[in-house]
Amino acid sequence: VVLLTGATGGFGEAAARYFAKAGASLVLSDLAADRLHALAHELGGKTVALNGDVADPAIAERLVDLALSEFGRLDIAVNNAGIVHDMMPLPKIPADVARRVINVDLMGVFYAMQAQLPVMESHFRATGESAAIVNVASVAGVVGAPMLSVYAAAKHGVVGLTKSAAIEYARRGVRINALCPSFARTPMATDFLDKAGDNRAAAEAAMVQAIPMRRLAEVEEVIAGLVYLADPASSFVTGQTVHIDGGLTAA
């Protein structure tokens, strides 16, 4: 049973399709209700959906309750929902924008794990079966991100939550890791590039300049890392930040 937030985004939809194809039961969530329920309908009978804002702690509780009521357990949680602010110097970022990014990207993961961890630990104590949480952070959670300072701060917070919770739950049957991709070919990046109009190629070149491979990640490449962290075969991997970044953090 897989719980996945941000299910209609670039990474979210690809992950939902992967897990559905692998035979998992899915609990999907997103703010975009129409697209969410269309995806759930397409994926079929072992999929349920609840739209809502991850910045609301009640949504985190309701999603876990839905997993238990529909499927009786929760094995994997992918806390993927996130937003980004426009690129601008720190002093120019409006306070309300900063608060919204922190509330979704950081507090949303905090609320999610508060709801998920007790249920996963309880199942482990009853059955000996472990669970996994994958928090989708960013390479901006492990290095500085000029012009994206609040986004970077939120993602650094996700990494801190991940590492701390992983230590707390290392002997309680829950593995917790953070996936840290660089820019990938998702709407979050392509929408920004589209705004460049005739200068799109130059904008993309600038976006990938710090990446040794000099290209955007493809969604499937990032999902491969997500699957590795979620896979029960990765049973000795916890508290890690897995960088899918074309070598950006190698230096």
Residues forming the active site: 151
Residue 105's nearest CA partner among 6, 33, 246 is 6
What are the tokens at 36? Answer: 């969410």
Q: Which amino acid appears at position 131 of this protein?
A: A
Name which of 58, 10, 50 is nearest 26 in CA terms.
Answer: 50
User: How far apart (Å, rounded) are the C-alpha atoms in residues 208 and 230?
Assistant: 28
Among positive and negative, which fits the CA dihedral 176, 229, 144, 55? negative
Side-chain-side CA neighbours of residue 142 (13 Å): 22
- Decide: 136 and 23 in contact? Cβ < 8 Å: no
> φ, ψ for residue 47 (rounded to 5)?
-125, 130
Coil, helix or strand for 124? helix
